[in-house]
């Protein structure tokens, strides 16, 4: 015999067209944390810093609102204290991408052949241990 779908009472049936719209939804936020850890704020689709959904990174909006130029190609807006949610203007600095990479690479140790060691190996060596063959292969 065929099975039929149970008939739902009127109170439990979906009410098409009566769902909350836009900013009345529980998921609609003016501010959210992106998967990268940076805060994104709703600025509207027409804003020059907005993505197609109308959101922009808070630190970029703060930087440009303070009268500074928008970061161009090869430039990075960095948080000085490395806290991605702290977007105060005095905590932001504009760096060339090469300078940012130089700063990051200085934190890592190198093996005798000049290859960067992994963060785990670097911290083990700094703690007084020895590590062999823990380098970053770029192959």
Model pLDDT, residue 94:
95
Burial of 131 from C-beta contacts in 10 A (0-12 / 13-18 / 19+)? middle
Phi, then psi, of 33 in degrees rounded to 5: -95, 125
Tell me how far apart the alpha carbons of residues 19 and 59 are, in angstroms, rounded to a whole number: 34
Model pLDDT, residue 138:
52
Taking residues 31-37, what's their average pLDDT? 86
Q: How much is the pTM?
A: 0.62
Q: What CA–CA distances, in Å, run from 48 to 15, 44, 61, 97, 112?
A: 38, 9, 10, 22, 48
**Domain edges within the chain:** 25-97, 108-139
DSSP 122: H
Model pLDDT, residue 21:
56
Taking residues 35-42, what's their average pLDDT? 90
Give the pLDDT confidence of 81-122 residue by residue, as tens digits.
989 999 999 999 999 999 998 888 877 777 778 787 777 776
């Amino acid at each position: 015999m065929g099975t039929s779908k149970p008939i739902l009472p009127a109170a439990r049936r979906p009410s098409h067209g009566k769902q909350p719209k836009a900013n009345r939804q529980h998921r609609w936020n003016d501010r959210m944390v992106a998967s990268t850890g940076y805060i994104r704020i709703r600025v509207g689709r027409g804003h020059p810093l907005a993505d197609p959904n109308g959101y922009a990174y808070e630190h970029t909006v703060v930087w440009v609102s303070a009268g500074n130029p928008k970061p161009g190609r090869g430039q990075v807006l960095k948080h000085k204290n490395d806290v991605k949610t702290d977007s105060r203007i005095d905590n932001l600095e504009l760096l060339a991408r090469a300078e940012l990479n130089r700063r990051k690479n200085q934190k890592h140790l190198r093996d005798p052949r000049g290859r960067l060691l992994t963060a785990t190996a670097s911290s083990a060596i700094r703690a007084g241990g020895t590590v062999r063959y823990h380098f970053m292969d770029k192959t």
